[in-house]
Amino acid sequence: MKKQILNLIATLGLMVLLSSATAFAQTLNMDMSWGINQQIRLQQQGDAAARNAAMAYYNYMLRLRQMGYTGPSLPTGVTTQSLQNSIQALQNSMNAYHQSSMANANRTYNAVNSWDYRAIRGCTLAVDVTGNQRWVCP
């Protein structure tokens, strides 16, 4: 009886040990809250910088008015053209990003297809009479 109890305890201990070892092999959920928090922090920094620039301009114009300046407000450097230029630059960068993503997807597709056609199906790549490349399979 004593031997059976020791055997049972050893088996239970081994089960606990093995079940906890498999738990370590499991992947955990990916916590991306740091990325969201970073975006929120960066947005707050940008908002604060814009507020500070606007307040600096406002205070400068206020000081000029207090010293007797009666002319029009001084230009801020932000014009319709400068805003359009920044929007166009953003659009150009997004277009370049999309083009590079599409080129990468095409390279991956072609590499997989090439291996499939050559290694598995035994095909060869040939050029037809119009100059287009075509797969020729047996």
Instruction: Name the residue ranges covered by the structural domains of the chain.
Output: 87-138
Residue that wins the pLDDT comparison between 32 and 47: 47
Tell me the whole-structure pTM to 2 decimals.
0.44
Q: Determine the pLDDT at residue 49.
A: 94
Query: In this predicted structure, what is the pLDDT of residue 68?
Result: 92
pLDDT in tens, 63-111: 999 999 988 888 888 888 999 999 999 999 999 999 999 999 988 888 8
Most confident of the following: 1-10, 78-87, 110-119 = 78-87
CA distances for 27 relative to 17, 33, 34, 97, 125, angstroms: 19, 17, 19, 31, 42
Q: How far apart are CA 51 and CA 45, in angstroms?
A: 10
Name the average pLDDT for the chain. Answer: 84
Q: How far apart are CA 9 and CA 16, in angstroms?
A: 11
Mean pLDDT, residues 40-49 taken together: 95
DSSP symbol at 117: I
The CA distance from 120 to 138, in Å, is: 12
